[in-house]
Amino acid sequence: MARSQPVAARAARQLSDLDGVYERLAPETLQRRLSRLRPAPTTTSALESLEAAPEEAMPGVAGGPPPVETLARHGRSAVEKVRREGADAVLTPQEEFALEAIVLLEGRPALLIQDGRFDDPPPEWAVLTPLRASIEPLLGSVGRIEVTGHPSLDWVGTGFLVTKDVVMTNRHVAKVFSRQSGSRWTFEPGMKPRIDYREEHRGTSSAEFTLTSIVGIHDKVDMALLRVSRKGRGGSKPPEPLVVAKSPAVKAGAKVFAVGYPAWDGHRNEPRPMSDIFRDIYNVKRLQPGEVVRVSAAEKVFEHDCSTLGGNSGSCVVDLDTRQVVGLHFSGRYRQANWAVLLWKLQKDPLVKKARIAFA
């Protein structure tokens, strides 16, 4: 998930239209938006914590205005300070708490995908809406990697199609169901991996394709390439492979999005904000917009701030301008760092050449 820094600094960077955010924090507007995002009652969200906060921790809650009005009031106060003082704004604990929720709601959402369409984005990401026609055809080429025969796991991560019969994912994902003998990788006996290109929220259909063999598992970067059947269960046809960018044009500040299957990840991430972003809906396909934070071409990686969780391992990171894949997401932790393999640097890599991945 997002890079570690004070919430005021993240708000200054991630919320481009602070005036608009301030206006959208009118209590009635905020109530309408939160009514759609409210998580299931089994988990405490930031909003529910405001409701339960003692008077000394959240002044005005006990016997005062309703929780949404409290969130709006402290949120507006925080936004006003950031507008006036910028990234160095000094906030009260209540303002920090409210601004954290606003940054997650507005700046780095995790949009559900249903029937091949992503949810309406918040105003900060309105740029996605006119690009639907070019983004949504890509979503069907990203799948959830599942496995039969594992003693404790039903699925292990995300993968995406990079040639007509090759799926790219992370090394640490593939090793869950693989074993090495000399230089050759094979599936663990009794384990049968597959990829399902659907697995959407409230979806009733699947698009399952058998993973037939291992092209290779990289020994230096967190990447694996798996051979996939061209015929799916029920005879369904496979999606088209995604286009991988050959240009080194990805730079800090570039808008990107990840597509993958975030899983509950409370052991590594903070459960409360995680619940607010993901609405306690996990293990299904999402589009997660963000920005490139830093590029390290020498290390063949870049940092981004899309809101990802553990199941996103193996997600594609796509440049918003070109709609080409620029990275393979492999690691992330809330407010600390998010990392992806810088794919254009691997064009001459022997494993990539063996799989015949075409860069465009």
Burial of 279 (0-12, 13-18, 19+ CB in 10 A): middle
Separation between Cα atoms, residue 217 and residue 208, nearest integer Å: 22
Separation between Cα atoms, residue 18 and residue 89, nearest integer Å: 14
Separation between Cα atoms, residue 24 and residue 10, nearest integer Å: 18
Radius of gyration of the chain (CA): 21
**Residue 84 CB contacts under 8 Å (≥ 6 apart), including other chains:** none
pLDDT at 354: 97
What type of residue is 168?
Answer: M
Separation between Cα atoms, residue 141 and residue 61, nearest integer Å: 47
pLDDT at 280: 65
Beta bridge partners of 180: 185
Q: How many CA atoms lie within 13 Å of 174's alpha carbon, on the beta-carbon side?
A: 29
Q: Which residue ranges form the domains of the chain, and what is each CATH number?
A: 7-107 (no CATH), 111-130+243-346 (2.40.10.10), 143-235 (2.40.10)
What type of residue is 256?
Answer: V
pLDDT at 214: 98
Q: DSSP string of 289-342?
A: EEEEEEEETTTTEEEE-----GGGTT-EEEETTT--EEEEEEEEETTBEEEEEE
pLDDT at 279: 61
Separation between Cα atoms, residue 211 and residue 195, nearest integer Å: 7
Question: What are the start-end ranges of the H helices in the chain?
Answer: 7-14, 18-24, 27-37, 46-52, 67-85, 93-102, 132-139, 171-174, 271-278, 350-355
Length of the chain measured in residues: 360
Contacts 24+ apart (CB under 8 A), 35-40: 37/105, 37/276, 37/279, 38/279, 39/275, 39/276, 39/279, 39/280, 40/279, 40/280
pLDDT at 308: 85
Q: DSSP secondary-structure letter at 356?
A: T
Closest CA to 71 of 19, 39, 123, 31: 31
pLDDT at 54: 28
Structure tokens at 269: 């991430």
Question: Would you put residue 174 in left (φ > 0), alpha (ψ -120 to 50) or beta?
Answer: alpha
Q: Are the C-beta atoms of residues 72 and 27 closer than 8 Å to each other? A: yes
* Segments of the chain with pLDDT less than 50: 1-4, 38-66, 266-271, 273-274, 277
Structure tokens at 193: 């991996």
Separation between Cα atoms, residue 143 and residue 149, nearest integer Å: 19
pLDDT at 265: 55
Angle between helical axes of 27-37 and 67-85 (0-180°, round to 10)? 110
What type of residue is 153?
Answer: L
